[in-house]
Amino acid sequence: MSHPLEQLRDDAQREIAGASDEKALEAVRVRYLGRNGTISAWGEQMKTLGQEEKPIVGKLLNQVRNALTSALDQASEKFRAQKESETLAHIDISLPGTPAERGSLHPLTQMLERGIQIFRRMGFALADGPDIETEWHCFDALNTPADHPARNEQDTFYLPDGRLLRTHTSTVQIRTMQSAAPPIRVIAPGAAYRRDEVDATHSAQFHQIEGLYVDQSVSVADLKGTLEFFMRELFGADTAVRFRPHYFPFTEPSFEIDVKSKALKGGERWIEVAGSGMVHPAVFEEVNKARGDDAYDPEKWTGFAFGLGMDRLAMILFDIPDIRLFAQNDLRFLKQFA
């Protein structure tokens, strides 16, 4: 004769096998294994059994509970798999998928990286400074006091506390010399700002690579050699480079640099791409004053500096007609440089 628990198990298994959906299956589970279910009731009843019967019935009860739990799990897994294949049956796997759009670097970023690579090969290290600057770093320390006419040409945006958006990356020259003694060989790529009328060649924000080389007996020949090499690496070996005398408060002598190359659209025309010169002794003196030492003794150290207009270089190299395109986020433009 079989034990009533075995009878119970057989009934439950029949019901599980007969359940037509998940809801019916859940009802079976509650009826047998739920808190008020039959199996739980047997658990309660165990307390009333005698010492001899207890372990036998206990063991049987466990076996029945395990058998039912696993039968329920199997049945519910069957329903889940059925549901999944029904859903998949409605998907047309032969349809093409959504293509993943791949981004690319902005043409100005590409230009800056190319420039940085060339200077790195010549042993220049990267230096950095903030876009929001003190008036002293942007002007006074660069031999451009408050009443200097050169300040008119570099009008900018001022913060209420008197700080300003730097008009050039030359500020990083000062910051570098404040924190390190010579020799120095750095470049500083970054944004600069001016309150100019915005047009095809002027933008309120533009980009420069600043360079500074300070050592013993650095001369104009070093300046010329370095920048000629740079321009030829960038624009091709037959690029002509011209150093045109100019004025900057922070260099003496000073030059503007023009390039001309058949490889470039607009070919046989000189195009201005940079300012440069030999660091003015007054700049070294001002740095010494701020440092409180004589590290940049102008009798001992000389240096050259330059500032390259990166937007201009990118416009020449990639044949871009309007500087405003860089900031318009027009994918039809940007995708041409992917």
- Which of 158, 247 has the CB closer to ligand DAH? 247
Three-state DSSP class for residue 312: helix
Instruction: Decide: is 137 part of the binding site for ligand DAH (CB under 6 A).
Output: no
Q: Does 168 bind ligand DAH (CB under 6 A)?
A: yes
Q: Please, what is the minimum distance in Å from the beta carbon of residue 162 to ligand DAH?
A: 21
138-141 long-range contacts, Cβ below 8 Å, gap at least 24?
A: 138/164, 138/166, 138/167, 138/168, 138/170, 138/171, 140/286, 141/174, 141/283, 141/286, 141/287, 141/290
Nearest to 139 by CA among 169, 171, 186: 171
Give 68 or 315: the residue with its C-beta nearer to ligand DAH: 315
Q: Which stretch binds ligand DAH (CB under 6 A): 23-31, 109-117, 236-244, 272-280?
A: 272-280
Nearer to ligand DAH among residue 71 and residue 218 (C-beta): 218
Instruction: Name every residue whose Cβ is closer than 8 Å to that of residue 203 and which is 6 or more positions away in sequence.
Output: 196, 311, 323, 324, 326, 327
Q: Mask of contacts with ligand DAH, 63-102, x by CB under 6 A?
A: ----------------------------------------
Before 149, cis peptide (omega within 30)? no
306 binds ligand DAH per the rule CB under 6 A: yes
Note whether 278 and 252 are within 8 A (CB): yes
Q: What is the DSSP letter of 101?
A: P
Query: In this complex, which beta carbon is closest to ligand DAH, that of residue 276 or of residue 302?
Result: 276
Could you say which of 182, 189, 190, 277 contacts ligand DAH (CB under 6 A)?
Answer: 277
Candidate list 193, 276, 287, 314; residue touching ligand DAH; CB under 6 A? 276
The per-type count for the chain, helices as H runs and strands as E runs, is: 11, 9
Q: Which stretch binds ligand DAH (CB under 6 A): 54-62, 64-72, 303-311, 321-329?
A: 303-311
Cα separation values, 265 from 65, 256, 269, Å: 85, 21, 9
- Strands 240-248 and 205-215 come out as unpaired
Binder of ligand DAH out of 16, 57, 75, 305 (CB under 6 A): 305
Stretch 198-257 residues interacting with ligand DAH (CB under 6 A): 210, 248, 251
Binding interface with ligand DAH (CB under 6 A):
168, 170, 210, 248, 251, 275-277, 305-307
